[in-house]
Amino acid sequence: PSVELTEMVRSWGVRTEIRYIPNGVPEVDQPVLTREYDVCSASRLVKWKNVDQIIDACCLVGATLGVAGDGPEHSLLESKSSVALGRIDLLGQLDDTQVNQLLGKSQIFVLFSDYEGLSFGLLKAMSLGMPIVVSDAPGNLEVLEDRIDCIVVPRGDTRKLSAAIRELLDNPLLADELGARALRKVRRTYSEAVLLNQVISHLKAPS
């Protein structure tokens, strides 16, 4: 589902045709819910997702944070959240409807991974027209462009991440513009129906 993963498979020595078809999401028509979180994120709780750095960045600017997902880092992140300055909620594994609800009651979506293939959480946030902050992991940069439809922050730079969050909270016009462009892009490029048809056509093609 990403150019980076395509190249990785080639590096394994695969010589047959490899076709890149990105993940897709359905169109969502969901009203904005009462704002409960300044920031949200959705991912597996593994080290390279850097949820601990998102927590640190939110604490630096006094932003509330809701995190959907579970994984081996849960206990460590729970301990960190319990002593954090401000509201940090680890919400555990959520189904699609619950993830959409979390996004709908949050102002900003953050994905700060060291590595990404193509995040469904990111595409969901785009489909809701949310302002987004991502790390400069290649998988993220295949999807979004800095200051065009998101804000890109260097991996591991918690202070720049906190500055990006603060900028979007303080500048709703910029947040709305970035979110609107992300929404147009996901509708144009990552439509679930279109991409599923591509997969079906590929599977039906003669070998």
Cα–Cα distance, 155 to 175 (Å, whole number): 21
How far from 180 is each of 121, 125, 158, 172, CA to CA, in Å?
A: 17, 11, 26, 12
* Average of per-residue pLDDT across 60-79: 96
- Cβ(72)–Cβ(45) below 8 Å: yes
pLDDT tens digits, 24-43: 787 776 656 678 999 999 99
Q: 146-179: per-residue pLDDT in tens?
A: 999 999 999 999 999 999 999 999 999 999 999 9
Residues 207, 202: Cα–Cα separation, whole Å:
10
Q: Which two tokens stand for residue 126?
A: 């785009």
Q: What is the pTM of this model?
A: 0.87
